[in-house]
């Protein structure tokens, strides 16, 4: 985790998050959850921005960038799950979090396919990743996020 990620996690821990066993988690409003989550997503979006600038289709570049995106989406997922969840729209939030996880998994699959050095396999995995990212965007909008779900996958 980067220094910024650690600082962000520490700051969010002060706002609530995982509680010791046997302690009831804080109940927060959906608006408060969105506010806290959008802070996380703004940081992830900023860190995703430089990825995809190298337009070469070299397999080491594909591997490196997909691996970096997978790590960032996984970090985002961990931090979002650490925020106390609101009571309202829990199904929609669960759907969004599942979609974030699907993007992270798809990015790992793109990275793994780059190792095969087979461009057709890479393209197939990238198509799957793009579809997962579209589902993430749709579920983010359905939940009411303002920033989350807008982290576009570099093509």
pLDDT tens string 70-92: 999 999 999 999 999 998 888 99
Distance CA 101, CA 81 (A): 11
Burial class (CB in 10 A: 0-12, 13-18, 19+), 82: middle
Phi, psi of 154 (to 5 degrees): -65, 140
Residue-averaged pLDDT of the chain: 84
Q: What is the pLDDT averaged over residues 132-152?
A: 88
In this structure, the dihedral spanned by the alpha carbons of residues 37, 38, 39 and 44, taken in order and rounded to 10 degrees, is 100
- Supply the pTM of this predicted model: 0.79
Q: Is residue 137 within 8 Å of residue 117, measured between CB atoms?
A: no
Domains (range + CATH), the chain:
3-143 (1.20.120)
Q: What is the pLDDT of residues 112-139, one digit of tens each?
A: 999 999 999 999 999 999 999 999 999 9
For the stretch 32-67, pLDDT in tens is: 999 999 999 999 999 988 887 767 779 999 999 999
Highest mean pLDDT among 4-13, 117-126, 145-154: 117-126
| pLDDT, position 149 | 78
């Amino acid at each position: 985790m980067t220094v910024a990620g650690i600082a962000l996690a520490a700051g969010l821990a002060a706002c609530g998050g995982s509680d010791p066993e046997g302690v009831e988690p804080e109940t927060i409003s959906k608006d408060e959850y969105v506010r806290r989550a959008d802070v996380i997503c703004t940081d992830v979006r900023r860190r995703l921005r430089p990825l995809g600038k190298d337009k070469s289709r070299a397999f080491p570049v594909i591997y490196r960038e997909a691996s970096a995106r997978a790590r960032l989406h996984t970090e985002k997922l961990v931090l979002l799950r650490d925020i106390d969840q609101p009571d309202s729209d829990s199904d929609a939030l669960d759907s969004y979090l599942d979609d974030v996880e699907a993007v992270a998994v798809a990015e790992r699959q793109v990275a793994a396919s780059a190792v095969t050095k087979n461009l057709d396999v890479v393209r197939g995995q990238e198509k799957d990743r793009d579809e997962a990212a579209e589902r993430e965007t749709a579920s983010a909008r359905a939940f009411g996020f303002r920033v989350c779900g807008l982290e576009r996958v570099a093509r």
